[in-house]
Structure 1
Amino acid sequence: MAVERVRVRIWSTVPIYVIEPREARTANGLLPERLGAYNGAARVWWPGVDEDSEPSWHPLIYDSTGFYGEGALERLATEFALRSAERVDLGAREQAALRLRSVPRPATAAASDGEPAPVSVLASRKDLRRLTTDLRRRDREAPVVVLTFREGEEEPGFPPTAIRQVLDPRISIYVLGTQDLCRRLAQALGQQLAVDGGDARIFWPGVSQDSDPAEHPLIAAHIDADRRSPAERLAEALELSRPGVSGHVAAMQERLQAAEQRAADTLSQLRDSRTDCREAITRAETLEASLAVAEQQLAALQLAGLDHAELELVATMDRDARMHRLIARAWLGALPSAVDRQEFPPGGYVFGARFIESVEELTGTPLERIAWACAMVASGRAKGMPGLEPHHLRASGAGSAGQLIRADGAKAWICRLLGEGASRLQYWVTADGVTEFATVGTHDAIGRL
């Protein structure tokens, strides 16, 4: 093919070399085996020429008739037409061959006396067959370490040079150059023995499809919590996974896990005990508070004139009953004459869900004062009584807001207990005239019913 005709049919940026017959032997001797050019043919060397390159990656162009004329020129032009002149996209295997040039070669080298074996870089299926054969050898005594690349990175996750320096010279180290080789290794050995993504795996003797992956440990390329170098972590994993050591390590791990479980159980029991103690203290404090309230109620009843027998009877009552007794006593004391009691009979009343609790929580207001206010409200005597001044409880803070009315029709009221700015009594009056005492509290802290 004439150089001038070739130049106009391929990219203008591609250099063209013409090898004279007298130079052919020398040139082909410098090129990888099976990648030479001879007998008038043309060869395209794409990026990534390497001794592991497949000849089909860098095609030899000649006419199928055996002549190197127009047919060969068309094939050469077609080869360039299939690719972009701006960017040459290499296949996965071509990329592997290109980036692995700097790794020690050849892949088939073995350790000589006193010298460690070089790292074996695998870029083809033929290389992978050599690895699987080595892994399955029955006479193999030393472990084999397999390293891989992270996707998109130029170096393996475990640097081969650093790994070679820390391992025994007899240990073979292989690097899988492509994801395709990683997948094929998993297919050959079983998915439980897969290794890829920059991780490393140690294969001890006795590899088979039924192998336990724990016997051939996988070491992650990166662990956030571990500050050691990859080489240090791999060397430690190698020592701990030795067949003579791994059994002892597993037993120690089982004992450690059992001890950790016992410690966790003991800690849980201690926490439960502390919770029980806190609950017991809370119950004791509640009982103590209830006792104090009961003593206060009994003192109020005693001041109201109850004799000893009646006080003993009251002492057996619950807190609701004692409050009812105080209200009844307050009504009798406030209305001494039969005429007054006939005019203001004790109306029907009940305690709301939080009333007794709010009475116990309120400080600064005597219990007998609360009982007296309840007696006056229930009998209808509160209206016009000095210091009580019952009035509507508004639905909101707005001055124009109307009285708060519950869904069942009950209307909200409020009255003073101890003058301006002090405690208040809130209550409902139902549609049938029953008074429901809701809560007591200070003027600022008291909430809506």
Structure 2
Amino acid sequence: MERPPSCIGPTGQPSWVDDADAVRELARWIVAVDRERPIVVLTVRPGGRDPYFAPSAVQRLVGRDGDVVAIEQSPKGRLTRELARALPDGLMVFGGAARIYWPPALVGVDPDAHPLVRANSDDSSSAEKRARLSNRWRQGPDETRRPTAVADAAPAGVGEEVQVAIVRAWLELFDDVDVRDRFPLQPYRVDQDLAEQLAALEPARAPVAAAAARILSGYAWTEPAPVPERVEVDGAPVLRPGDRAVAWRYPLVGSDQVLHYWQPASGPAVLARIGARDRTGGALAPREAVDPTSTPATPAAHEVEPADAPRRPSPRAPRLEIADEDLVRVLRAAGKPLLAPELRAALGIDSETPRERFSKILGDAAARGVIERTGQRRGTRYSAT
């Protein structure tokens, strides 16, 4: 088991965090897969000097079964903002609130699994809010909860471990929280096939998590190599029947295997399975995605070539053309501004298409008022007008 960071004091005594480095240490420990003790994090209300929930009283409630950490007051809430930036989306705590972070091995990192007790959100009395925190602690973790990013059919325990491993890989990939802001983890699911593979192949979990962190954050598209490769049959992209999500694959570091995944125009990506580098697109399809009655215009995901079929030469990349309505549709479906790599993936653009060509299309669309550029300081994002 990994040792707790220096910001966690002796058992049975509340700890105080008063600088950004300690906050980042705390964030890493909150999502650590081998953390076994729950943590209660306390914050200060705007304009206050002490945590809304008294650390000594909360420590008496927790006893020696968990750790209590109070984040000190800072100008403009700088420390709680730093914590929010260092944690996955939805796991922050600020404004006087308290949050119970149960061990990730029990409940994953789904924000709903880690109770948040607010200080300013309603008119209930201080006594009622303290009682609410006490009740949440005494209820304990809901170990039957499954993180929303994991398929319900995943083998028990494996789904949570995969999700936590992906979060840790993402945190390790971006030590700089400013860069982390530019590459947030996007929603995803873990298919039953992949979960079953990782249940049997534990050594594969780390490289799969590392690949998933790059794919889901969009960071893979900023690297010179490798980049995700669209899966094709006879030169046409493989689409999933039903929602016509595009099939992609990404190599696993130090292995001759790839991670297959589906990327729909809207909705979460699906991490599908591990396969060989030369596997054809048909081997990608998750069981529940195959619809034998579908007749898509491009080859169906379940129509595969024989494994020993000769490889056809890749055709020259066609001239890239993107209709304005497709740009607007994808951006509106996302419900938020997208980075260029995220928009590229959502549109299913071939990895061989030069980045400059896609950037020119976005620039022309912005100049014509079809889309808008935002967030110049921390990475340009695009939204529909």
TM range (shorter): 0.3 to 0.5
Tell which has more relative contact order, 1 or 2 (C-alpha 8 A, sep 6+): 2
Higher helix share: 1
- The alignment's TM-score, normalised by the length of structure 1, stands at 0.28
Rg larger in structure: 1
